[in-house]
Amino acid sequence: MHTTILSLFAALTIPLTATDLELTKASDWPGWRGMGADSVSQGSPPLEFDEESNIKWKAELPGRGLSSPVIVGKRVFVTSAVPIEDGSAPADAPAGDGRSRRDQPPVNEVDFLVMAFDRADGAIAWEQVARTQVPHQGTHPDGSFAAPSVVSDGEHVFVSFGSYGIYAYDLVGELAWEVDLGDMDIHNGFGEGSSPVLCGDALIVQWDHIGDSFLVALNKATGKELWRSARELGTNWSTPLVVPQGEGGPLIVVASSTTVAYEAATGDVAWTCGPTGSARPGGIIVSPLMHEGVLIYGTGTRRGGTMVAVKFDDASGVDVHESDALMWTRDRDVPRIPSPVAHDGILYALKSTSGILSAFDVQSGEALYEPTRLEGVSDVWASPIVAADRIYIAGRDGTIEVVAAGAEFATLAVNHLDAIFDASPAVAGDELYLRGRSELYCIAKEE
């Protein structure tokens, strides 16, 4: 079983108390895309930083993970897949018969690891190996078996390793329950990625793959299945959106073929929206968002795609695409991996995975500024976030560019850290959290 160097500190820490676990809700980032599932924070993290300045702490991360940091009270949660080396091959390498690594399963066991860090100093509070197993299928060379982000209700942390189990831990690391939903068969062996979301008392898991696909609701207290809704076959990596209408729901799930709104209580289909514009078959990575009553989602793939805006309150029927609820579409300069972000009536979207940013009016789809090349960032997987009327964009080469939010493009700062950023940033209070390939940063103003 895996043990990190940091775990040695855990044995020396004072046991947690109820006071230690008291949540500061206003400064939490409880899941993928934050409190409102829109990547917008009310905090004010530093504008400028580097390896020598405004670094509150930096913690070592074992293995490989793409999950974004999740902050609940005094804890920061991430996951990782840690290969158990036996000297034969890396965990995601082929056995050596000449086929590509995605054509056959790995050969080594992997520890599926959940880690909780102390928000004050980056010391590890606890870690749990959810499962140790040889993965049944490979993943993208730049991917990970720990790609989905965790989600928390302030009492438990819910973790999806997809084919390798769904888990619920309390905030001190005790396992509450676990569920095995089977094995996914992912297109091209690219790996799994959809993050779980909470909707009322249910944990929602999207299970889109080449085999039998479904959306499932699990009781967050017990893991018991509440309902399951069958979906069209096909791999998608996007994360469902819970539209905040009273007591949870409906749920929006995006795919290249059909975007579906599900009733949160039953899993029944409320309405659908077929492919639009240049959308083509292929897995969807970009996650949907809501802003000012407008549902915005992308169908971007490697071959092209479309960004779609729907007036949510008017959406109904078999195909919203054929109704007045469809507000606008755009089939150029749309994102493929990074999800867009909206703030104060403006939508910001990167072109494909490049450092080219556009801004659009949310209501009309009109371009406020045409595709503009960023000064420092050129290759992006992480989704942009907004804090203090600034857009933070983390590039894969360790560059983090900060752009002014507004109708005119302006770069405010170009920062650089010694890391590779594929996971999306998070903001809690006035702290910016960045997860690199092998490190976790907490960025905060020096006192």
| pLDDT, tens digit, 9 for 90 and up, residues 161-212 | 999 999 999 999 999 999 999 999 998 888 899 999 999 999 999 999 999 9
Task: Give the mean pLDDT of 121-144.
Answer: 94
Could you tell me if residue 318 is inside a domain? Answer: no
Q: Judge whether residue 426 has pLDDT over 90.
A: yes
**Domain-embedded: residue 99:** yes
Lowest-confidence segment of 131-145, 184-198, 318-332 by average pLDDT: 318-332
Whether residue 249 is predicted with pLDDT greater than 70 in this model: the reply is: no
Please indicate, yes or no, if residue 442 is contained in any of the structural domains. Answer: no
Residue 35 domain flag: yes
74: in domain: yes
Q: What are the pLDDT digits (tens) for 66-95?
A: 999 999 999 999 999 999 975 444 444 443
Q: What is the pTM of this model?
A: 0.90
Q: What CATH number is given to the structural domain containing 169?
A: 2.40.10.480
Residue 4 binned pLDDT confidence (cut-offs 50, 70, 90) = very low
Range 247-265 average pLDDT: 83
> Which of 280, 287, 361 is closest to 327 using CA atoms?
361
Greater pLDDT, 394 or 320: 394
Report, as an integer, the average pLDDT of 374-398.
Answer: 97
Residue 279 counted as domain residue: no
Ranking 4-13, 118-127, 177-186, 411-420 by mean pLDDT, the lowest is 4-13
Confidence label for 14 from pLDDT (cuts 50, 70 and 90)? very low
Residue 278: is its pLDDT beyond 60? no
Measured between alpha carbons, how far is residue 106 from residues 3, 67, 214, 374, 428 in Å?
Answer: 21, 21, 26, 38, 37
Closest CA to 84 of 133, 44, 125, 121: 133
Q: What is the pLDDT of residue 321?
A: 76
Nearest to 102 by CA among 148, 162, 146, 143: 143
Question: Does the residue 305 lie in any domain?
Answer: no
pLDDT at 87: 42
pLDDT band at 103 (very low <50, low <70, confident <90, very high): low
Q: Give me the domain span that covers residue 126.
A: 1-192
Does 77 fall in a domain? yes
Residue 328 CB neighbour total at 10 angstroms: 17
pLDDT at 323: 86
Number of domains into which the chain is organized: 1
Give the closest residue to 428 by CA, choosing from 79, 31, 18, 19: 31
Q: What is the mean pLDDT of the chain?
A: 87
pLDDT (0 to 100) of residue 133: 95
